[in-house]
A = this chain, B = another copy of it.
Amino acid sequence: MNRNPQLNKHGELQHLLTTEGLPVSILLHILDTAESFAGVTEREVKKIPLLRGKSVFNLFFESSTRTRTTFEIAAKRLSADVINLNIAVSAQSKGETLLDTVNNLSAMHADMFVVRHSQSGAAHMMASHVRPDIHVINAGDGRHAHPTQALLDMFTIRRYKKDFHNLRVAIVGDILHSRVARSQIHALTTLGVPEVRVIAPKTLLPSRVERLGVHIYHDITQGMKDIDVIIMLRLQNERMLGASLPSTEEYFKYYGLTQEKLTLAKQDAIVMHPGPMNRGVEIDSAVADGKQSVILPQVTFGIAVRMAVMSILAGN
């Protein structure tokens, strides 16, 4: 029996809600499809008519320049009509329930919903209520998941490291509040990365994080050893205050990635960050702009990966 709400009865991707529980075959299918689009998104390429006549709704209950924009570009490259909705300012303020909003938008011949919401589970809720011909893509829900970010990270890692099977990957920083970290850990594990480390102070780790199959380090100088891929997380200042960290300066001293700490990793290690960066808090500018940084390629690959997800969903 199929209990995964992301898959249809044929085991195909119906919604993309989380990387957790996603079969390796689907993860690889997305990455391979994205490879074919990565060429298309180079200069001088014409638009692709795969989503022509389809309506993609960008439902952003939280604002996000980067994520909304990359989905919009990806959808337009596929020739979709894109409708941007900042729900916070309209229907919700008139007291309509989220479910009524979803039902109404569904009734408007939507083909795809891209959803960003501050509440964990919002995308799942929507997916369980839309008509069977509508696809939901989670663009970040609360602390829960951000699967397209994780997928573009996997795409980036594969581009630079070719294979997942002999890598050591370290995720550094505020694991506790990070939907990105959760989605990365699930994807890395499914794709066969043998060692995933989380490096963070105790106060920024979820309880029982070891259940996700990760190795825990509190000391970054130890955690960096033999590492191939370093993923720095954004420190959300407003959240840090409650985490008994004395200051951002203190945080930078112990966990901020500097050239000095980077030398502890493998010589050809790559540095990633989902953005937006706090320079001088979790990452030093010399590293962010340095030759091991693949932070801007991540953004570029995000277009191809989102095109892949949308075209696969539309085809299923």
User: A278 interface residue, CB < 8 Å from B?
Assistant: yes
> Which of B55, B64, B65, B69 lies in contact with A73, CB distance below 8 A?
B55
User: A95 interface residue, CB < 8 Å from B?
Assistant: yes
Residues of B within 8 A of A100 (CB): 275-277, 279
**A65 to B61 alpha-carbon distance, docked (Å):** 13
Question: Scoring A residues 53 to 68 as 1 if CB is less than 8 Å from chain B, else 0, what string do you get?
Answer: 1010000000111100
| Known interface pairs A65-B85, A101-B65; A278-B108 also in contact (CB < 8 Å) | no
A104 engages B73 (CB within 8 Å): no
Q: Which of A52, A109, A133 has the most chain B CB atoms inside 10 A of its CB?
A: A109
Residues of B within 8 A of A83 (CB): 69, 72-73
**A124 to B94 alpha-carbon distance, docked (Å):** 27
User: A91 interface residue, CB < 8 Å from B?
Assistant: yes
Within the complex, what minimum Cβ distance (angstroms) separates A141 from chain B? Answer: 18
- In the complex, residue of chain B having the shortest beta-carbon distance to the beta carbon of A76: B81
Within the complex, what minimum Cβ distance (angstroms) separates A9 from chain B? Answer: 19
Interface 9-residue window, one of A16-24, A41-49, A176-184: A41-49
- In the complex, residue of chain B having the shortest beta-carbon distance to the beta carbon of A275: B104
Q: For the complex formed by this chain, how many copies does it contain in all?
A: 3
User: A107 interface residue, CB < 8 Å from B?
Assistant: yes
Residues of B within 8 A of A63 (CB): 89-90
Q: 8 Å CB contacts to B: which residues of A107-125?
A: 107-109
A73 engages B109 (CB within 8 Å): yes
User: A270 interface residue, CB < 8 Å from B?
Assistant: no
> Which of B64, B90, B296 lies in contact with A103, CB distance below 8 A?
B296
Residues of B within 8 A of A72 (CB): 83
**A277 to B101 alpha-carbon distance, docked (Å):** 10
Within the complex, what minimum Cβ distance (angstroms) separates A218 from chain B? Answer: 26
**A206 to B90 alpha-carbon distance, docked (Å):** 28
User: A7 interface residue, CB < 8 Å from B?
Assistant: no
- In the complex, residue of chain B having the shortest beta-carbon distance to the beta carbon of A80: B76
Residues of B within 8 A of A76 (CB): 55, 81
User: A300 interface residue, CB < 8 Å from B?
Assistant: yes
**A44 to B109 alpha-carbon distance, docked (Å):** 11
User: Top 4 A-B pairs ranked by shortest CB distance?
Assistant: A107-B299, A96-B276, A65-B90, A76-B81
List A residues at the B interface (Cβ < 8 Å): 41, 43-47, 52-53, 55, 63-66, 69-70, 72-73, 76-77, 81, 83, 85, 87, 89-91, 94-97, 100-101, 103-109, 133, 237, 275-279, 296-297, 299-300, 302-303
